[in-house]
Amino acid sequence: MDTRELMKQVRTIRVVTGKLVEERLSGEYHSVFKGQGIEFDEVREYQPGDDIRTIDWNVTARMGHPFVKRYCEERELTVIFLVDVSGSQGFGSGDRGKAEVAAEFTCLIALSAIRNQDKVGLILFSDRVEKFLPPRKGRTAVMRLVREVLAAGGTRRRTDISAALRFLNNVQKHKAVVFLVSDFLDGGFERDLRVTARKHDLIACPVSDPREIEIPDVGLLEVEDPETGELVVLDTASARVRTDFSRDMSARQREMREMFRKLKVDFLDLRTDKPFVEDVRMLFHRRRARARRMT
C-alpha cells in the first residue's frame, strides 16, 4: 500500500469510527473503564447521609462540628493496544482483511479513550516487537496508531504472543487497560497471559475470517501449521480434508475461549465478515453488570 492510499484509508477509518463513537458508544466507555483509584478532593461540612467513616476528626476537633473528606475518581487511564501483525494477519477473504479490522477496532476504542482524556499506546508484534508507541493523549496519537497498524499489514513473520506480553509488562509498570488483538494462531503463551491478566485489565480480541474455518474447494492449498510453522499442502477438493480442517480449527477456537475463561480474561470476537460495534457494546454491558455485582 503506497502512502497516498494508506492516508486515504486512515482518514476513512477515522471518519467512520468517529461517527460510531458519537452515535453508539457515547458514555459507554467512561462507565465501564474506571480510573486507577481515588484521590482527595476537599473537606466540607458533614451532611445527613454522609458516611461517618469519611469524617475528618482533626478538622472536626478544630472547628467544633463534623467535617468529612471528599474523594473523587482518579479518572485518567492508560490504554494499550497489543496488535499482532504477523503473516496470518494479512489474510482476508472478503472486503476487509484481519489487519483492516484490527485498525478499525483500534481506532474505535482509542477515539473513545481520548474523549475521556485517557492516554493510548501501541505495541505491534510478530515473532518480535515490531514497533512501540508510548502512551500519548490526543487525536493525533490515535491517527498514528491507526496508520501504523495499517502500514504493518501482515509481515512475513510468525507470531510470538509470549514475547509481546513480556515486553508489555516490562515497559508498562502501572496498571493499564490492554487490548490484545490477534488471531491467536500461536501456542505456549498461557503463562504469560496469566501474568499479564493479573497485572493489567486485559481484554483478548481474537480476529478471524470465515474462510479460516470453512475452506472452499480451491484444489491444492498450502497452509502453515500455527504451532510448528511447518507448511502443509491440503487437497481441498477432498470433502473429508475440508471437514477435518474445519473440525480442527473449531476445536482450536473452543480451547482458546476456554483458556480465556479459566484465566478470567474478557474476550471479544472480531470477524472480517461482520460489524463489531454491537459486540463491543455487549462487552461493555457485561463488564458493567459484573462490576455492579461486585459492589
Dist CA 154 CA 99 (whole Å): 7
Q: What is the pLDDT of residue 265?
A: 95
* Number of helical (H) and strand (E) elements in the chain, helices listed first: 9, 11
Q: How confident is the model at residue 28 (pLDDT cuts 50, 70, 90)?
A: confident
Dist CA 148 CA 240 (whole Å): 41
User: For 119-177, what is each residue's pLDDT tens digit?
Assistant: 999 999 999 999 999 999 988 998 898 888 888 865 667 889 999 999 999 999 888 99
Burial annotation 77-105 (CB, 10 A radius, 16+ → b, else e)? bbbbbbbbbbbbbebbeeebbbbbbbbbb
User: For 33-83, what is each residue's pLDDT tens digit?
Assistant: 765 555 555 688 888 888 888 898 988 898 888 988 876 555 578 999 999
User: For 234-252, what is each residue's pLDDT tens digit?
Assistant: 888 888 888 888 888 888 8
- Stretch 100-124: mean pLDDT, rounded? 89
DSSP 123-134: EEESSSEEEEEE
- End-to-end distance of the chain based on CA atoms, in angstroms? 49
Dist CA 107 CA 92 (whole Å): 19
Dist CA 283 CA 74 (whole Å): 23
Dist CA 73 CA 125 (whole Å): 33
Structure-block grid coordinates of residue 229: 510453522
Look at residues 148, 130, 132 and name the one whose alpha carbon lies nearest to residue 140.
148
SS3 content of the chain, % helix, strand, coil (to 5): 45, 25, 30
Cβ atoms of 97 and 86 within 8 Å: the answer is: no
Dist CA 115 CA 8 (whole Å): 23
Q: Which domains does the chain have, with CATH numbers?
A: 39-72 (no CATH), 75-289 (3.40.50.410)
- Collapsing DSSP to helix, strand or coil, 164 comes out as helix
pTM across the whole model: 0.78
Structure-block grid coordinates of residue 8: 486515504
Torsion angle, CA of 193/168/249/280, rounded to 10 degrees?
Answer: 90
